[in-house]
Every structure is written in structure tokens, then in C-alpha cells.
Structure 1
Amino acid sequence: MVIADHNAPVRRFNISRSLIWQVSSGALLLAGVALGASLHYFQVARDAAENRILREENLTLRTQLKSVRERIEHIGSTLDRVERFDQKLRAITLLSDPQRNLAMGPVEREPGVGAPVAETQFTELTSLESPKSLPGKLDRLSAEATRQEQSLQELQAYFQDQKSLLASTPSVWPTRGWVTSDFGQRLDPYTAERVGHAGMDIAAPHGKPVDAPSDGTVVFAGLEGGYGNVIVIDHGYGIKTRFGHLSKILVKAGDRVKRGMQIANVGNTGRSTGPHLHYEVRVNGIPQNPRKFILED
């Protein structure tokens, strides 16, 4: 029933209950759909935000993982260099005291720990390596570092009592150039026959300085057959060095020399095919590979 005003006639409208129910149901249905859509929208928005956060965290973790790999590789490379240096130092200790437990090369590895230097196992990391393998790699690095620390501590204790030996042991290049003939078997440049070579030949410009590789006393300075002008230095402890084909000799027998002191100049005297230095190291009269007595790169 609708009454417009007090003068207007009364109008009546009849609405069935079924229509009211249908309208009410439709309104509730629309409200439910709207509510469901709203909930779905907020869920999708929340998932998108979480996915964005996860992507950012994943990118951060990848960056950190790459940094960890690079640091492990750097540490491994450093340990490889330390081990090579350790081997050279132990080569020196072998000369004076072969009865000590300081033989050539590093201390003995424990089973399953480390690998030979040639394999450079610590420098073989790749971007495809599983992150799960990193803890094991770090454990091996830690074990290797501990082993190297122990080895270097032994060497330090030994060297503290061997200052005189160190000063007398050849350890530097006598001259800089390029090695044209190494220690061992080689083809004779004159006869083309395979013969033993008791030292190494270092090619260098004529007149380039030749320095004493360690402290010692000059025991010979003069001509010696095919070696031309020769200097022989006695370093004590059974160690002697020989320098051949010199153009000029700056010391005489009986002179004391120090490591790094100039003793001669590179030349081409004697049986020689060009300017170079013939360099020998002998221990108790037995020729040794001079490379064992060069700690410089």
C-alpha cells in the first residue's frame, strides 16, 4: 500500500512471497560472489608479493653463493702456492740434515685428505657445482690449511736454528734471462749426441751481471777448458756453485761474497754457441738440478 499525500488515492501493490525470496536469494548470491572475488584478489595479491620476495631472496642467495665459490677458489689457489713454496723450502732442508723428518716435499697427507699439487683440486670449482658440496669442500680446505700450518711451523722451528745454512744455500737466480738448456740429458750443441748436462744454461745479453746466489768463499776464478772463464764458490755444508763462459771475472780466489753481490758478467768464452751463463750446483760433489735452489719465480 502506497499513499502519495492526504488528497491522493491510496494505491495497493501485491508482491508474492516467491518474488521476495528470489530477489533476496539473488542479492545474497551477488554478495557471496563479490566477497569470494575480493578474497581471491587479496590472496593472489599476497601470493604475488610473497613470490616477489622469494625471487629477491633467491637472487641474493645466488649472489652470495657465487661469492662463496670465488672465495673458496681464491683460498684454494693460495694453498696451492703455499704448498709449492713449502716443497722448495723442504728441498733446502734436505741438504743439511737428511736424518731429520724434513724430507723433500710436504708432510705426508692423511688418507683421503688433499691431493697432489699437480691436480690443483682446490681451484677446480665451477658454477655447476652443487651448493650441497660446499661444506665438504670447506672441510677439505680447512684440513689442508691445518696441514700446511703444521708443516710451516716445523720449517719455521728448523730455520730458526739454521740461519747460517740458509745464508749459504743458493736460493736466487744468478742472472736473469731465458733457460736454453736444463739439467739432465740433452743433445750436445756441437756433436748432436745425447749427453748429460750437469747444470742449466741461461741465455742473456753479453755483459749482463752475474750475482752470487748465496754467501760463500770463492775457491776458483780463472780459465777452465771448455767452460772458458769460470768461478767456483764454496758455500759450506758441502755445497758449491759453478759459473761458466763468463766475459769478465770481478772476484778472485779467497774472496768472501754475499748473496746478490755481482761476481762476473755473462759472456761467450770457452766452448759456447752464444752469450749465456752455465750454472751448476753440486752437493758433496754430486750435480743437482739448480731449479731446486731457486725460490724466486
Structure 2
Amino acid sequence: MVTMKKNLTLLVFDARGTPVRQASIPRMLLPVSALFLLGIAVALYAGISAYHRLKTETKDVRGLRSALQTQEERVLQQQDQIVAFAQKIESLKTQLAELNRFEQKIRIIANLETSKDGSSLFGVGGSDPEDLDPTAMMELDYQELVRDMHAEINEIDQASHNQLDSFSNIFKQLEGKRNLLAATPSIRPVKGWVSSRFGYRKSPFTSRREFHRGLDIATHAGTPIIAPADGLVTYAGKRGLMGNMVTIEHGFGMVTRYGHAQKILKKKGTYVKRGETIALVGNTGRSTGPHLHYEVRLNGVAVNPTKYFFN
């Protein structure tokens, strides 16, 4: 290499030592070239580092995205569980309310003292059986939601204890009225659909307004008719427009009558138990089709049979 004043001369020799090429490079180009190469090296290092960092961050983002998706699915599952739990709470409250209404019906039929807690079954929390809306619940704050759920559960727990105490009280009162209950026509005498209810109606024969003293239950001919309570058969035979009819006296002023029977299975003077078959559904007497005409009389006055049905 030969150094000149402003330029540098670069000689290239072959294997025999003979100069084959000669280049003149400005002296100032060396530091510029060095800086340029250094810049390239720095840029390349920065690019490689940025690539690795971006690759790592991309992997982290994918992990976070997967974790977020998993978390969202878990939240949706929890929301579904909360809604299902809220619906279960509502179902339990509805069942308790039904039990309470059933209790009041028993008290009326058995002429028992009305429950003092009957009107406030859910009074411990001041809420009604339909006040917990699962859809609206999801808009509440989580802590508030948990507090409401706990309040509902505590309310149901208190109401169930109240209902248990009330039924225990009924049981004690019914012990002394067992005979009265046995004589109360509390079950349906036949399976079928009600074709004519108790009360005023338009006669299917005269088209005039008349008072229907019983309940017509339409069903297939030959369907068993059962006694809705214990009692004594006081009539079993043909009875004018009623066709083949059975009358049962249950005591305590309660009498039931069964008309249009196809066949009577019990004789007059027979004592029957609740659920025992007494006749078969028919179409005798004045009738438009197979059905049972069922009457309940209290002290000689026809009353609505449906008021006595437990089932």
C-alpha cells in the first residue's frame, strides 16, 4: 500500500508478486466507509433485535388472546350458571307459594283456623315469588348480585321453616277431624275433561238457561267411577233423566250423586272407601254422550264439586 498526500493507493498482487490492479481511494473515504459500515451493523443489529422482540411479543399476544378467550368462555359459563341458579330460586319460591295455597285450601275444606302466616309467606324479605329477574340480574354489579342471591336463599330458607311449622300445626288439628276428612269428597271420581261446569248454563236439550247442579265429566264409556270419600251407598238404580245413578252419604251432611252410569257395581247399603270403584261411565238417561254427572250436596244444597278437589 502506497500512501499519497490526499489519496491512498491500493495495489493487488497475484501469486507471483506482480501487481495486477491498482486503485486510488480518497483518504477521507475511509472514516466515512467505516461509519457507513458501522451504521449498517447497528441497523442490522437493531432490526434483528426488533424482529426477535416482535416475535416474542407476538407469541405473548397469542397467549394473552388465548387466555382472554378462555376467560370469556368461563365468564359466559358462570353467567349461564347464575341464570340457572336464579331460575331454580324462582322455581323453589313458586313451589313454596303453591304449597301455601294448598295449605289454605286444606284449612278451608277441613274448616280449620286460617294460618296467620298465610299472607306473609315471603314477608321476611318483602319480596314476591316473581321478583328475581335472571336477565336483569346480569346487569347488576357482581357483589350486589351475590348479596341479592344470598338474600333470596335466606328468604326461601325462612319461608320453608314457616311452611313446615304451619303444616305441623295442620297435622295436629286434623288429628281430631280424621272422620270429617274421610267423609269429604276430595278427589275426582273419574278421569276426563269437564264438558259442563257447575252453575247457570244453556241447556243442551231445550236451549234455555238453567242451573246445572253438578259437574259433567266426559270420558270413554266403561271408565271406572271411584268414590271420592268414605261413605254408605244409599241409592243404586235407575233414576229418571239421571239414568243409572248411585248416591253415597258420607256423613257430616255430605252427599254425592253419580248419574248416567253404564253399570252400577255397588248395591244399596254397601259401605265404600275412598278410591273404590262404584260404577262405570255410561250414556244412560238423558245424555248427549258418555259422561259422568257428578253432584256434591251439603245439607241438601248442591255445591260446586271443584271446590273440594285436591287432585
Same fold (TM over 0.5): yes
| Superposition pairs of residues 137-148 of structure 1, within 5 angstroms | 139-140=151-152, 143-144=155-156, 146-148=158-160
Structure 2 residues without counterparts, runs of 5 or longer: 2-9
Distance 2:49 2:270 in 1: 104
| Superposition pairs of residues 222-233 of structure 1, within 5 angstroms | 222-233=237-248
Cα deviation for residue 212 of structure 1 reads 0.7
1:211 aligns to what?
226
Cα separation, partners in 2 of 1:67 and 1:181, compared to 1, 3 Å = same
Aligned residue for 1:87, secondary structure, equals: helix
- Residue of 49, 54, 62 corresponding to 1:35: 49
2:5 aligns to what?
none
Q: Deviations over 1:151-173 (max 9, x none)?
A: 35412441355262443333332
Aligned residue for 2:139, secondary structure, equals: helix
Q: Does 1:281 align with 2:296?
A: yes
Distance 1:291 1:187 in 2: 20
How many residues of Structure 1 are paired with residues of Structure 2 in the alignment? 287
Cα separation, partners in 2 of 1:280 and 1:152, compared to 1, 3 Å = farther
Aligned residue for 2:67, secondary structure, equals: helix
Cα deviation for residue 30 of structure 1 reads 2.6
Aligned residue for 1:154, secondary structure, equals: helix
Cα deviation for residue 145 of structure 1 reads 6.2
Contact in 2 for aligned 1:93/1:102 (Cα 8 Å): no
AA of the residue aligned to 1:239? M
1:45 aligns to what?
59
| Superposition pairs of residues 247-266 of structure 1, within 5 angstroms | 247-266=262-281
Distance 2:96 2:213 in 1: 29
Aligned residue for 1:132, secondary structure, equals: coil
Which has the higher mean CA deviation after the structures are superposed, 130-139 or 269-278? 130-139
Distance 1:141 1:238 in 2: 46
Q: TM-score, normalised by structure 2?
A: 0.73
Name the larger-Rg structure: 2
Q: Does 1:295 align with 2:295?
A: no
Percent identical residues: 31
Cα deviation for residue 57 of structure 1 reads 2.3
Distance 1:148 1:286 in 2: 39
2:4 aligns to what?
none
Distance 1:240 1:137 in 2: 50
Structure 1 residues without counterparts, runs of 5 or longer: none
| Superposition pairs of residues 118-133 of structure 1, within 5 angstroms | 131-132=138-139
Cα deviation for residue 262 of structure 1 reads 0.9
1:184 aligns to what?
199
User: Relative contact order, CA 8 A, sep 6+: which one is greater?
Assistant: 1
Q: Deviations over 1:19-49 (max 9, x none)?
A: 3233323322332232223223312221221
- Residue of 62, 70, 73 corresponding to 1:56: 70
